[in-house]
Structure 1
């Protein structure tokens, strides 16, 4: 069936059909991807966060779909559509990480770093570093940026400040698209922190960070314009 997406009625029917399709794929055909899409549908279209949380959780538990584990971890960490439970969030982030979700690795690492669990668990610095390092090794730009920061400051009880290692991780984060890391790389080249001073490279990375910032602003402006009602 063809839909006229300029027609409000056709758009509504198209969206309803999506929900039916995802339900059938999840509950009748037992397809994990369809279940994840159904949860996305509840989240993004219906704004039914309670049902979204339940489907993300069951998709993780029943099928081991790690992106669903990651999503449910975020829900339970915030208490979005479910009871807030940092300890359970950590368990599901860890499952996501074990399955290759690098953002889950970073989030679990940061929880270990802060001791942010519901049972008052103390900071676990070795586990925190292991998971944040894993996120960076898996090319998560934010993970590399955080890892760089942890070497810029040093972590008491784990490692000393090491600007050479910090530079290496900041450079990787920048190459992966983290503008804050590009700015840090520029500063490191300018000051000679962890790398030989190089004013030209400092300027190059400063320019790269500025370009990234402009792109972010442009994307935000486009999103605002698309979301604005016509006058």
Structure 2
């Protein structure tokens, strides 16, 4: 049936039927991708975050659908549709999604481990966190590649290293020593995957000869690539319903 989406009554009918279709596909046909769409529908159209969260959680637990693990992990982290924020629950669902091959989950799980926090239930572990970022980057997550590049650009100091320490060598003070060659490699990968900040960093590396041979032409090339990406972001700020499945 064709709907006239300029008619308010027909729009309401369309939305109602869409909800019925998603519920049937999820609960009767037990299709994980449709359950995820049902949760998206409850979130975006109905604004019922509690019900949406329950559907995401069940779809992750019962049907092992990685994108739903990502959503429920995010809900738990933000306290959205739940009574309060719970970093440990968020971490557990990001871990489930990562193990199911969802790169965004690996990114979030890694960032929770890398970020310094005062939560006893989630101990900081930079090295393990970086391995998860590497897994996410290998899974074509551009942001993970960018974060890895940034960590190698500046290095990551040990949390217990005193600024006036004299009994340790400089390299011993770092969990992750500065490494501009690795920084360049991850920046290149991030840029190729569409991260404009990685492209901007590439431009600077080529301009200065950091981690790669100095090359003014390539510096200008990646500067222009980053600027084009910035224009695209500014001119295309809308999100499309159902794009979470792409």
TM value normalised by structure 2: 0.87
Unaligned runs of 5+ in 2: 158-173, 240-246
Contact 2:87/2:122, CA 8 A, preserved across alignment: no
When the two chains are superposed, the root-mean-square deviation of aligned CA atoms in Å is 1.5
Q: Distance in 1 between matches of 2:143 and 2:200?
A: 14
Q: Does 1:187 align with 2:204?
A: yes
Q: Does 1:158 align with 2:159?
A: no
Aligned to 1:211: 228
Aligned to 2:31: 31
1:144-178 deviation line (CA, Å, top 9, x unaligned): 00010111111224221000010010011011110
After TM superposition, the structure 1 = structure 2 runs for residues 64-213 of structure 1, keeping only pairs within 5 Å, are 64-82=64-82, 83-116=84-117, 118-156=119-157, 157-213=174-230
Contact 1:59/1:68, CA 8 A, preserved across alignment: yes
Greater helix proportion: 1
Q: Distance in 1 between matches of 2:138 and 2:105?
A: 13
Q: Does 1:41 align with 2:41?
A: yes
Q: Distance in 2 between matches of 1:207 and 1:197?
A: 17
Number of matched pairs: 222
Q: Secondary structure at the match of 1:131?
A: helix
Question: Which region of structure 1 is more displaced relative to structure 2, 148-157 or 8-17?
Answer: 148-157
Q: Distance in 2 between matches of 1:181 and 1:125?
A: 21
Q: Distance in 1 between matches of 2:199 and 2:85?
A: 35
Contact 1:106/1:135, CA 8 A, preserved across alignment: yes
Contact 1:141/1:173, CA 8 A, preserved across alignment: yes
Aligned to 1:228: none
Instruction: Give the structure, 1 or 2, with the largest relative contact order (CA under 8 Å, sep 6 or more).
Output: 2
Q: CA deviation at 1:219?
A: 1.1
Q: Distance in 1 between matches of 2:122 and 2:43?
A: 31
Unaligned runs of 5+ in 1: 225-231
Q: CA deviation at 1:122?
A: 2.5
Q: Distance in 2 between matches of 1:35 and 1:117?
A: 36
Q: Secondary structure at the match of 1:122?
A: coil
Q: Secondary structure at the match of 1:43?
A: helix
Contact 1:111/1:117, CA 8 A, preserved across alignment: no
Runs of at least 4 residues off by over 4 Å: 115-118
CA spacing shift, 1:119–1:113, aligned 2, 3 Å? same
Q: Distance in 1 between matches of 2:65 and 2:123?
A: 29
Aligned to 1:51: 51
TM value normalised by structure 1: 0.92
